């Protein structure tokens, strides 16, 4: 279980500096992940519940060689007490969080939700993917500063 601690008015998104080769590798992986989303949407079309797309997308990602975990548990703490439990949709290769939607259009609150998940499990990169009438994709980043 991952832990989220209090965030007050999180609005900033941060990009972590990386070497050129790391950036290129991340772009190649990201392109493959996005291609899988388009393949699922082209096959199923619009109109299904999010869970249907999640299951089909997991199958497609695994067929493409990715390690995929779904429904990653997250607990939100306030004053050392659990005040909420959530689940991130997918974790790819122990590195990239994928938050899925099947709605008309993405909003800023969906983007903030993904940033909270990234902070909770200390991951630097995530994708917000909407399987609406057409595929919408948002990339989100954050920097984690380790405390000693």
> How much of the chain is helix, strand and coil, in % rounded to 5?
35, 30, 35
Q: Is residue 126 over pLDDT 70?
A: yes
Q: How many angstroms separate the CA atoms of 148 and 135, rounded?
A: 41
Taking the domains of the chain in order of start, what are their residue ranges?
2-7+18-141
For residue 111, which of 91, 87, 85, 140 has the smallest C-alpha distance? 140
Question: Each residue of 27-86: pLDDT tens digit?
Answer: 899 999 999 999 999 999 999 999 999 999 999 999 999 999 999 888 877 888 888 888
Q: Is the pTM of this model over 0.75?
A: yes
Looking at residue 11, what is its pLDDT?
A: 35
Percent of the chain, pLDDT > 70?
Answer: 82
Mean pLDDT is lowest, of 80-84, 111-115, 136-140, for 80-84
Q: What is the mean pLDDT of the chain?
A: 84
CATH topology of domain 2-7+18-141: Trna Endonuclease; Chain: A, domain 1 (3.40.1350)
Distance, in Å, from the CA atom of 115 to the CA atom of 97, rounded to the nearest integer, reads 10
The pLDDT, as a whole number, for residue 17 is 47
pLDDT at 139 over 50: yes
């Amino acid at each position: 279980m991952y832990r989220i601690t209090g965030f007050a008015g999180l609005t900033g998104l941060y990009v972590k500096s990386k070497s050129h080769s790391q950036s290129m590798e991340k772009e190649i992986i990201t392109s493959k992940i996005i291609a899988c989303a388009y393949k699922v949407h082209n096959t199923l079309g619009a109109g299904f519940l999010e869970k249907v797309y999640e299951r089909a997308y997991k199958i497609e990602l695994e067929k493409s060689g990715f390690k995929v975990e779904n429904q990653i548990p997250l607990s939100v703490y306030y004053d050392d007490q659990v005040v909420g439990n959530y689940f991130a949709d997918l974790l790819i290769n122990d590195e990239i969080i994928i938050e899925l939607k099947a709605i008309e259009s993405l909003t800023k609150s969906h983007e903030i939700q993904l940033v909270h998940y990234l902070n909770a499990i200390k991951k630097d990169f995530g994708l917000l993917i909407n399987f609406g009438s057409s595929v919408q994709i948002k990339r989100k980043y954050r920097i984690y500063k380790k405390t000693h």
